[in-house]
Amino acid sequence: MIAAVAMTSMVVAWLTWPRADVEIRVARGGVATVVDGYGRHSALRDTVFVGGGGARRKVRVVNNDTMPHQLAMFRAASGNTTEYTIPPGTYGGACTAHATSKHLTFVVQ
């Protein structure tokens, strides 16, 4: 009985824990990966699609590099985690943590 209550509590906490719709992690050396709302990791591509619920979406940038980075409209200071809330739209700009190009586009749905 206690185990069932503990397991139910853990599932409810995991489902309701506030998390970003998309998280971008910049590793040492400046290589970035994207983590979606389900915890799946992928390489940073030219276009990042941000989905979610509500009128605004959350994008979290975790910079573990020793250098600051620019990810389109997001500024990431070295060693910091910053969370941004943005409305739907298409945004683009320069990217210093991008392996294949120097431009990054966010499509916020």
pLDDT in tens, 51-98: 877 778 899 999 999 999 999 999 999 999 999 999 999 999 999 987
CA 77 to chain centre: 15
Q: Is the pLDDT of residue 103 over 80?
A: yes
CA-nearest of 99, 47, 51, 105 to 74 is: 105
Q: Is the pLDDT of residue 8 over 70?
A: yes
Q: What residues contact residue 49 under an 8 Å CB cut-off, 6+ apart? A: 107, 109
What is the pLDDT, as a whole number, of residue 80? 95
- Burial category of 76 from C-beta neighbours within 10 Å (exposed 0-12, middle 13-18, buried 19 and up): buried
Confidence (pTM): 0.80
Rounded Cα gap, residues 8 and 20, in angstroms? 23
Q: What fold, for 19-108?
A: Immunoglobulin-like (2.60.40)
14 vs 12, which has greater pLDDT? 12
Q: Is the pLDDT of residue 41 over 80?
A: yes
**How do beta strands 47-50 and 103-108 pair?**
parallel
